[in-house]
Structure 1
Amino acid sequence: MSRRDDSESTLDTPAAVLWDMDGTLVDTEPYWIDTEFEIAQRYGGTWSRAHALNLVGNDLLESGRYIREHMGIEPSAEQIVEELLDGVVARVEDVVPWRPGARDLLEHLSGAGTPCALVTMSYQRFVAPILAQLPPETFRVIVTGDSVEFGKPHPEPYLTAAAALGLAPVDCIAVEDSNTGAKSAESAGCLVLVVENHVPVLAGERRVFADSLVGVDLGEIWADYHR
């Protein structure tokens, strides 16, 4: 039975692919977690891996507020964000930990002429060293956490990316690894391919799951969902 209704795409293939970054394109979550523990040690705060995993996919300023409260430290949320970025950028400039299959899929999409957008809650200065290792124009649109008013799980980041591409979100597929990101993309109207990484992701009407990006055929996933 078809799932198509007025809110469903009528395209045979996705018009664009909207990519999350942390945990999806690159496995930088351990970098963030290590930096969080460094901040806790620096200011005499307390932290846990459970707290760290609660922040996966979140808006950075919201994460800064959470860290300030739960670590019990004095710096402002804004200062915490800057110190997080300092630590993570330094690590990324040393080694970019690409997720399996991610670069191959990007290359395939580029060759097929499928536009891609990057939709991340990380800030531009963290994104830059990662983009520097990809061919120019890999992403036609880049939406970062410091360029939107409301971060994930709000739909604004994905709505912004689709609009910048001149497309309806319903005609796009998003690639995500967290509940926060999947909710943002799903709420915007995208079909969401979920590849779980550090945290489990709940099932949803617009969510399909894959174990890895290795060998993934987004056209086939799209067709199966809309059949």
Structure 2
Amino acid sequence: MQTTTGLAAVLFDMDGTLVDSEKVWTVALYELAEKLGGRLSDAARAAMVGTNMSRSMAILHDDLGLPADRDTADSVAWLEDRMGELFADGLVWKPGAQELLAAVAAADIPAALVTATRRRLVETALETIGRRYFAAVVCGDDLDETKPHPAPYRTAATLLGVPPARCVAIEDSPTGLASARAAGCVVVGIPSEVDLTGTPGVTLVDSLTAVDVSYLRSLVA
């Protein structure tokens, strides 16, 4: 008999949550800013964390003082190509991430990857992370609305056939936390590149090394 209460699924963000790829993004973004004739500010870089490619490029262009009507398509294409090269070199796991993924799988709890990164790069990243862990993958270019809109997390729950309220979403950015909360998930925040202190309705944990299946179950119980 299928249960109707308790933990039904775990929804993982990717960049900064499972893998330490935000630093890789920073390298490529600084390279792109230099290519465009400027230097990316720390404030603009922080504002990009958790956003999709289009929004990040808009922030970059604005930070560099480029004309508002300048097409960002060339910047998107260059950055995606560069990130593909960097991702292909391999990604570094965040502490505890690989162990938690394996534990969730061993407990037969469905998992989904929910990321603002575009699918082309996600497919490369999955060579490191392991696509076997995920029953569903929702990428930044799969939907018309992305984080902080609730659509990505709602879509992941729908693909897994479970209600969002029985899902724990694990995120590292304010944008991602807002998306998961708006979707109705139980939300765990793992600070990475951005301070999450004071975020309402979110359980903050210093590292995924402090998270196991029993802990995730307790959050939904």
Note if contact 2:103-2:212 (Cα within 8 Å) is conserved in structure 1: no
SS in 1 for 2:45: helix
1:26 paired residue number: 19
1:123 is matched with which residue? 118
SS at match of 1:147: coil
Q: Give the counterpart of 1:212 among 207, 210, 214.
A: 207
Residue 144 of structure 1 aligns with an amino acid whose one-letter code is C
> Cα distance, 1:205 vs. partner?
4.7
In structure 2, the residue matched to 1:83 is 78
Which of 34, 41, 48 matches 2:34? 41
Q: Match for 1:59 among 52, 57, 67? A: 52
Deviation, 1:136, is 4.5
Percent identity of equivalent pairs: 37
Residues 154, 183 of structure 2: 8 Å contact kept = yes
State the superposition RMSD in angstroms. Answer: 1.9
Quick one: distance in 2 between partners of 1:170 and 1:205? 17
Tell me how far apart the structure 2 counterparts of residues 147 and 105 of structure 1 sit (CA, whole Å). 26
Give 1:138's aligned residue. 133
Q: Normalising by structure 1, what TM-score?
A: 0.89
Match of 2:103 among 81, 105, 108: 108
User: Which letter does structure 2 place at the counterpart of 1:55?
Assistant: M
Task: Please name the residue that 1:203 is paired with.
Answer: 198
Aligned to 1:185: 180
Give the conservation status (yes or no) of the 8 Å contact 1:21–1:120.
yes
Q: Is the 8 A contact 1:46 1:72 kept in 2?
A: no
Deviation at 1:218, TM superposition (A): 4.0
- Partner residue, 1:50: 43
Pick closer, same or farther for the CA change 1:138–1:67 going to 2, 3 Å: same
TM-score (normalizing by structure 2) = 0.91
Runs (5+) with no aligned partner, structure 2: none
1: CA distance, partners of 2:131 / 2:27: 30
Whether contact under 8 Å (1:28, 1:97) holds in the other structure is yes
1:190 and 1:206 in contact (8 A); partners too: no
Shift of 1:39: 1.0
Q: 1:11 aligned to 2:5?
A: yes
AA in 1 matched with 2:195: P
For residues 39 and 160 of structure 1, do their structure 2 counterparts lie closer, same or farther at Cα, with a shift above 3 Å needed?
same
Q: Which amino acid aligns with 1:40?
A: A
**Change over 3 Å in CA distance of 1:76–1:96 after alignment to 2:** same
Paired with 1:48 and 1:204, the residues of 2 have a C-alpha distance of 24
- Assess, with a 3 A threshold, how the Cα gap between structure 1 residues 37 and 134 changes in structure 2: closer, same or farther: closer
Question: 1:7: which partner in 2?
Answer: none
The number of equivalent residue pairs is 217
The structure-2 alpha-carbon separation of the partners of 1:134 and 1:198, relative to structure 1 and needing over 3 Å to count, comes to closer
Q: Please give the alpha-carbon distance, in whole angstroms, between the structure 2 residues aligned to 1:215 and 1:200.
A: 18
Greater CA deviation, 24-33 or 131-140? 131-140
Indicate the SS of the match to 2:128. Answer: coil
